Structure 1
C-alpha cells in the first residue's frame, strides 16, 4: 500500500535507535537510552533547519549525530568493550547529560536554571555566579569535591579530568604588583566553578545504586539479551551484476579490518560484572554522620563477604593423610 504522504528518510534511523536501545544488556541502560532517543527527537523537531549544517539544529548536523549514536549502540550490543562501557557510563550518569542532571541538586541552582530544560554550560557561570562573592558551595558539594580530589584512580577511567583545587586559589596581586581587581577574582572563581561542572561525578539515586550493587555482587537477577535473528537474504535471487558489483568490483574475503578497533565479545554475566565494577569505581555514595557532624563519601564497589568454607574434621585427618610426609608429600616407607 502506497503512503499518502512522503515518509521522512530519518525514520528508519529513529526506529533502529529504539530497536538497539531495547537490546542493551543492562536494566538501567535500556529505559534510559530509549527515553533519551525519544526526547531528543521530540525536542529537536520544532527547531530543525532543513538541509542545513551551519547550526546545531541543522538537519545534516542532527542526522550525523543520530547515526553516530546508532553506531555506538550497535557496537555495544555486538560486544565491543569500549562502546559498551561508554553506554553504561552515559546511562549511570558518569558522563553526558545524565551526569549534569544528577549534579544540579548539589550546585544550589536558582529557579531560572531549574525551570530550563537543558541549560548550557555558560548559563551556570552566568546565573549562579552573577555575584561570585556571595556564592559558596553547599556542604554536600564541598564534601564531594574534597573526596574526589583524593581519588587519583579516577584518572585511569578517562571519564573526566582530575580536579586539582578544592577551593579557588585567588592571586594576591596582578602582574604589576598591585592588588587584584574584583573582576579578576570573579573570573578565577568562575573558572574554578566551571571545572567542577565539567568534571565532578555526582552520586546515584538510591534505587539505581541498589540495582548496580546487586548486579556487581550477583544478587540482582540478570539474563542474557535475546535478539531476534535477522532475516536471511536469498543470495540466489540476487543478480551477480548488481550496481554494487559494477561500481566497486568483487568483494574481498574476510579481513581483520573490522577488528582494528577491538573485537566483539559474547555478552555474559562475567563480562558485564567487570564493566559494572568500573561504573562502581566512579560512583560515590554520600551519607550524613551524626557523630562527626559531616558528610561522608564512599567510592567503589560494595564489600562482598568472604565465603565460609567447611573445615576438615580433625578425626578424619589421619585417615586421609596418614602415611604421608608433611614436607615432601611422599608416602612414607613402612
Structure 2
C-alpha cells in the first residue's frame, strides 16, 4: 500500500465540509449514499443550532472524522469495517432507524386489521391504565427476530449475545417481590418496558430485501451484478503538504509525546513522516491493499450479521399474530477437490482400507451371532 497522503488540514468549516465530501467520494459505491447523507445532515443541523462556544468542539470532531475516513481509504481494515457496519445499519444512527421501523406496528390496510387494532387499545383501557409507547411496539415481530438471532448466533457481532433467559420476561421478572407480594401494576409495567428495551439493544435489525440481496451478491464476489465500484484516487496537484517543524513542542513537551503522531500506529491518521528512523520512513501498521478477495471477506462478515424478514402467515398458527420468516446471511464453504498430481497421492488406499474395515466388522457381527 502507498504512503498515506499528507494534505493541508482544513482551516474553516466550509473547507472541512468539502474535504469530508471529497474523501467520502473514494469510499465504495454502496457506502457513499449513507456517509454523504450523514455528513450533510450533520452540517445542516449544526447550522441551525450553531453557537460560538460549540464551534471549536464540532470542528475538532469533524477533523477527527476526516482523518478516520482517510485512514480507512488508505488501507486501515478495522476502520473500513466499522464504516461498513455503520452503512448497513449494524451500528450507529442507521441501526436506530432500522430498529424504529422494526418495532413500529404496521398501519391497518383492511377492515379486519383495523378492528383488531381498535380492540387492542380497548383491552388496554380496560386494564385501568393509559396507553404507553410499548403498546405501539410490534413485540411479536421483535420476539421472532430475537429468537432467530439466538439460534443463529452470528459470529463477531458488535452487540451482546442473546440467551434463552433474555427471551422470556417470566424468567427475568420474578412473580413476587421481596415481601412475597405480587408486583403493583405500574411497577410490573416498568419492569416489562425495561425487559423489551434490553432485548432491543441486543438485536441486529433486518435489512430491506433488495438491499439484503445486493449484499448477498457482493459477499459472493459478484461485484458487477451489484453495481460495485471504488473510485481511484486522483493524484494531488503540486507538491504534498509539508508541516513546519515545531521546535516549541520539543521544548515544552516530552519527545515521545511529540513523536507519537509519526509512529507506525498513528501514521494512517496523521500522515506524518518519521525522520528519526535510520532505514527511512517505515510502513504504517495495519495498512493493507484492498483486493476483491479482501472486499469479499469484509462484506461476507457484514452479510452474516444481517437478516431479512418476511411475513409468511397473516393469521398465524394461534389465530392471532403473524408468522415471520427470518433469513440470515451464511457462507457456504465447499472444500476444493484434491488434484491428481499433488494431493491425491496422500489419499491413496483410503477407499480399500474403509472397505476392509467394514468387511471385518460384518464378519465380527456374524461370529458373535
Q: TM-score, normalised by structure 1?
A: 0.70
1:207-258: CA deviation from partner (whole Å, max 9, x where unpaired)? 22222111111223244430012234289xx9xxx95254356997x85343
1:264-312: CA deviation from partner (whole Å, max 9, x where unpaired)? 11111111111101101110122344598631212123658999x9x99
Which residue is 2:365 aligned to?
A: none
Which residue is 2:288 aligned to?
A: 265
CA separation of 1:21 and 1:136: change in aligned 2, threshold 3 A: closer
Question: Does residue 1:203 correspond to 2:202, yes or no?
Answer: no
Q: After TM superposition, list the pairs within 5 Å mapping 1:38-53 onto structure 2.
A: 38-51=40-53
Q: After TM superposition, list the pairs within 5 Å mapping 1:193-272 onto structure 2.
A: 193-221=196-224, 222-233=228-239, 244-248=245-249, 256-258=264-266, 262-272=285-295
Question: Does residue 1:30 correspond to 2:32, yes or no?
Answer: yes
**Contact 1:203 1:285 (8 Å CA) reproduced:** yes
CA separation of 1:186 and 1:8: change in aligned 2, threshold 3 A: farther
Structure 2 CA distance, aligned partners of 1:306 and 1:194? 42
CA separation of 1:306 and 1:244: change in aligned 2, threshold 3 A: closer
Q: Structure 1: which 5+ runs fail to align?
A: 1-6, 52-57, 112-128, 313-325, 328-334
Structure 1 CA distance, aligned partners of 2:12 and 2:159? 36
CA separation of 1:270 and 1:95: change in aligned 2, threshold 3 A: same
CA separation of 1:244 and 1:194: change in aligned 2, threshold 3 A: same
Moved more, 173-182 or 267-276: 173-182
1:227 aligned counterpart, secondary structure: coil
RMSD: 3.7
Question: Does residue 1:296 correspond to 2:325, yes or no?
Answer: yes
Deviation at 1:39, TM superposition (A): 1.1
Which residue is 1:145 aligned to?
A: 146
1:295 aligned counterpart, secondary structure: strand
Moved more, 242-251 or 80-89: 242-251
Deviation at 1:78, TM superposition (A): 0.9
Which residue is 1:126 aligned to?
A: none
Structure 2 CA distance, aligned partners of 1:98 and 1:279? 14
Q: Structure 2: which 5+ runs fail to align?
A: 1-9, 108-129, 269-283, 318-322, 341-347, 350-369
Structure 2 CA distance, aligned partners of 1:167 and 1:234? 60
Q: TM-score, normalised by structure 2?
A: 0.64
CA separation of 1:197 and 1:138: change in aligned 2, threshold 3 A: closer
1:93-143: CA deviation from partner (whole Å, max 9, x where unpaired)? 1111111111222212699xxxxxxxxxxxxxxxxx953785663433221
